[in-house]
Structure 1
Amino acid sequence: MNLWLLFGNRVGDNKQILALADAIGLPFAVKQLRFNRASALPNVLLGETLASVTPDARSQLAAPWPDAVIASGRRAVPAARWVRAQSGGATRLFHVGRPWAPLDWFDLVVTTPQYGLPDRGNVLSNLMPMIAADAAANGVDLDAWSRRFAHLPRPWIAVMVGGNSRPYVLDAAAAARLGRMAGAAARTAGGSVIAVSAPRTGAAAFAALRAAVEAPAYFAEWGKDENPYAALLKLADRIVVTGDSAAMAADAARSGKPVTVFDLPVRQGLRGAFGGAFRAAADRLPPLRPAFDALVDLGLLTSVRDLGAYHRALREAGLLDGGDAAAERQRLEIDRAAERARALLER
């Protein structure tokens, strides 16, 4: 038996695909997909096709066909279904995250709470994303970073800053609030702030955060300074993350340090507002739940991801409190997903 891993252009998605494949334990081949303009069309219109991928990507997809395909994200779905069609229906489809498509197209969907997928026999809901533990810290010189931070009083409060990611917005005002909060925490504890930005952090927002921190501090701006993100997962005493990234919250939780999530303002588009309102109504009014779940099940309705729901789930499970709980939970969830996948392959 063998697997095909359909990689896209999102590093986090690809890492999850790879983690699941490693846990399944079968030989695999990576197929790097590139997409064209047709990929903007809904999956229910595209169907089983390679029309939405570039010619170089198409050339990789040829017989002999795999026993299973693992993919993630919306745009890989038509190609994955095309592979299954070419195999005469023999190829299993495993999907990570949210497929933006009818759920019964897939043998297994491994998801997390922010996507709000309905409870189905082929849907496995995890709390932690499937990214190998300590992947971020590999090759990091922790001694060098410890020396660089040695002048700062402890506890070291790491502030991991994201940025605009629909529907979440990190503007200068929100960044300043984050800076004031982190600075106050450092002053109260007698410690310091170590703030690191990300590729999508706006320069104005990071400048506003920097200006608002009234405590001993170290700032590392993406693209200008060496990035201590991975080192801080090991060295920080506490971690604050902005609420725009599930992966960043999971990294922090898995570090074993106490984690605080800083909620960002939400600005929804019309489609996202409708889906989010319907989802909220279904949560409040149980009679609406079957209709909402049915529309999601058919791929006709997808609300914008609700990271607030994800962070609440982590908090309620005690995974933001520090210790080994998050890392152990992730290991068990990856093993469970792999076991489900292997069982499907053996049928």
Structure 2
Amino acid sequence: MPESGAQPRVWIVDAYRAGEQTQLRALAEGLGWPFEIKTLSYRKYEMRTTLLRGHDLRGVELATSDALAPPWPDLVLSMGMRNEPVCRWVREQSGGRTKLVFLGRLWSDPSHFDLVITTPQYRVPDRPNVLRNALPLHPVGPARLAEARALWAPHLTHLQGPFITVNIGGTSGPYAFGRRAADRLVRDAVALAKARGASLLVSSSARTPDCAIDAFAAQDAVPMALYRWRRGDGDNPYLGYLAMADEVIVTADSISMLSEAYATAKPVHMFDTGAGRLGMRHDMHLAAGETATARMQARQDSDRPDIGSGALAYRALMRWGWRHLTRDISQMHLRLVRSGRMGWLGDPPPTSDAIPPSDLQRAVARIRDLMGVDGARRR
């Protein structure tokens, strides 16, 4: 029997993308148990183990990776295709005792894991061990927002509230973000700010094209603070701008930014980086309650859309390729609109004083149930 009050030994077999790393850390911190992070290096051309649903370390460069050795963990949290066989190998070494919790997209069937925490864009099949959250996990909550507001409010005293925060992503999968999309975003953000008598707080990201930043920098119709993203910048005001927001505009290419904006409990407007038949809501106009004005503007903009060869190739892969290779974020948009969580920029935003439900709390509760109500370490 486990000792009373003992906690599980937790490993994060780390993801290899920054956004996925954020999700894993948010989940581990939400559990409140001590955890170790295992960072791995991967062989570039080893796909056999993953394709065949293996359980070995053939895809890992062991010499440059953190050691995977006993004592084996009670719980592994992970994300990313290359980590699937690694996690299965760890469970095998523990004699089947280690519980595997995997996030996001899967290459293999959910039956290979004890719990899968995912979102609609990844099209994971329904199973009893699949928890389908509305949005990705993140660490943004009331306490962090209050701290960020206290830090950044003194830097924004030269601007008059209310504040409309604009978070800009970039080209993603089938959705291109070019000059025309940037011009539309500035036009619509400025129009909303004028209607509210508001100032803009504009924040860019690693994927934001220069044309979008330049387009905002050129506008002088409303007061504005503008941040140009820089790698490793400790003074990035992204969270501060979110905390100060009375309303938020987010380019809908970034599900992570949408999730963090929703955590503010302020109205969130999704911006469609495409238009017309190439838009993010091409198949959901009726479901989203699109206005006549928005339909007319979409037709005008679709005459000269932003679309590149990479985005076109991704669209073809989504339509005719293997489902594992793509994600369909339009499914996320559809659910967000239908559930009343968010609206499209140009449509009336949802109005609610309710505290947003916590996907993180749902995930933590499922894991605690998986590990035992008291979270005691399994021996």
> TM-score by structure 2 length?
0.75
For structure 2, which runs of at least 5 residues remain unmatched after alignment? 1-7, 279-309, 343-349
Report the Cα distance in structure 2 between the residues aligned to 1:241 and 1:42, rounded to whole angstroms: 38
Report the Cα distance in structure 2 between the residues aligned to 1:22 and 1:324, rounded to whole angstroms: 27
Identity over aligned residues, as a percent? Answer: 35
Structure 1 counterpart of 2:324: 302
Correspondence list, 1:36-185, <5 A? 36-38=43-45, 43-45=50-52, 47-56=54-63, 58=65, 60-134=67-141, 137=144, 142-143=149-150, 145-185=152-192
Which structure features the higher share of helix residues? 1
For 1:207, the aligned partner's letter is D
Structure 1 counterpart of 2:228: 221
Correspondence list, 1:205-220, <5 A? 205-211=212-218, 214-220=221-227
Query: CA offset at residue 143 of structure 1?
Result: 4.5
Q: Alignment partner for residue 273 of structure 1, among 295, 316, 338?
A: 316
For 1:317, the aligned partner's letter is S
Report the Cα distance in structure 2 between the residues aligned to 1:67 and 1:332, rounded to whole angstroms: 20
Q: Alignment partner for residue 257 of structure 1, among 266, 269, 272?
A: 266
Q: Deviations over 1:194-226 (max 9, x none)?
A: 211011112233213433573222211112995
Report the Cα distance in structure 2 between the residues aligned to 1:198 and 1:82, rounded to whole angstroms: 36
Task: Check conservation: 2:39, 2:65, Cα contact below 8 A.
Answer: no
More deviation in 321-330 or 5-14? 321-330
For structure 1, which runs of at least 5 residues remain unmatched after alignment? 279-299
Structure 1 counterpart of 2:284: none
Report the Cα distance in structure 1 between the residues aligned to 2:185 and 2:25, rounded to whole angstroms: 34
Structure 2 CA distance for partners of 1:135 and 1:31, relative to 1, 3 Å = farther
> TM-score by structure 1 length?
0.82
SS at match of 2:108: coil
Q: Alignment partner for residue 242 of structure 1, among 238, 244, 251?
A: 251
Correspondence list, 1:16-55, <5 A? 16-38=23-45, 43-45=50-52, 47-55=54-62
For 1:118, the aligned partner's letter is P
Q: Alignment partner for residue 240 of structure 2, among 197, 212, 231?
A: 231
SS at match of 1:240: strand
Structure 2 CA distance for partners of 1:215 and 1:144, relative to 1, 3 Å = same
Aligned length: 326
Report the Cα distance in structure 1 between the residues aligned to 2:102 and 2:239, rounded to whole angstroms: 28
Task: Check conservation: 1:196, 1:229, Cα contact below 8 A.
Answer: yes
